Structure 1
Amino acid sequence: MQTLDTLNQTLHTHDAVMLYFSAPTCNVCHALKPKLTEAIMDNFPSFVIESIDISETPEIASHFSVFAIPTVLIFFQGREFLRKSRHMSIGEVTDAIARPYNLMVES
């Protein structure tokens, strides 16, 4: 099980991290997750993806101010860059992170 400490360590040791917040009762979460994960890994291979079940670890959701699911948080070099909740498309997420990701990887 994840803890806030392990997630913070991940955020500070990896340049590109996606946190995916969901719950077992969320059908949209389960439909979106595999497609979004595949798109991220295909286009941005150095991303680390962490899934957080808010029913198991509500304190993590609270710490990141996540109150709706699914929620995706994108971090670059430990700083939150993008936050998308509920209604999002895979293209929206990948388009938003393409330029900063490519700049980070090239430098």
Structure 2
Amino acid sequence: MKKLETIQEVMNFINENHLVFLYISQENCSVCHALRPKLIELLKKYPKIELREVEADKVKELAAEYLIFSAPTLLFFVAGKEYFREGKFVQFKKLEAAIAQIYSFEDRAQMQVPKQ
């Protein structure tokens, strides 16, 4: 998983991609390391979602900008707006349901756009 290393990279990534998933971790966080492969595996089902990791202890401004109080924190953005947030004890069924809902909505919306 690619990492973003500055707050500007994070903001640009969110604003330049339609479906964005940020995985906020910390270097010495065992829960963070355990969740990472599960998240990567889950998002393989949703190839239009761009995934990046940010280490909160290295990008200090992240906490203030996105109100991150613990790690891991998972943030899902749609068109630059936060759609879903999950922290610490991630419920993967709830997470997958939220992703599936917005993903299917996005697919339907794209099918309805008239071609020019």
What TM-score, normalized by structure 1, do the two folds share? Answer: 0.91
Structure 1 runs not aligned, ≥5 long: none
Q: Is the 8 A contact 2:76 2:85 kept in 1?
A: yes
> Which residue matches 1:72?
74
1:61 is displaced (CA, Å) by 2.6
> Which residue matches 1:3?
6
Q: Distance in 1 between matches of 2:5 and 2:72?
A: 18
Question: Could you say which structure has the larger radius of gyration?
Answer: 2
Residues matched between the structures, number: 106
Q: Is the 8 A contact 2:74 2:86 kept in 1?
A: yes
**Which aligned segments of 4 or more residues in structure 1 are displaced greater than 6 angstroms?**
none
> Which residue matches 1:84?
86
> Which residue matches 2:24?
21
Q: Is the 8 A contact 1:18 1:75 kept in 2?
A: yes
1:92 is displaced (CA, Å) by 1.8
CA root-mean-square deviation: 1.3
Percent same amino acid among aligned pairs?
Answer: 28
Note the alpha carbon deviations across 1:51-100, whole angstroms, 9 max, x for none: 11111111123211001111000001110000101111222211112111
Q: Distance in 2 between matches of 1:102 and 1:15?
A: 14
1:105 is displaced (CA, Å) by 2.7
What TM-score, normalized by structure 2, do the two folds share? Answer: 0.84
Q: Is the 8 A contact 1:21 1:61 kept in 2?
A: no
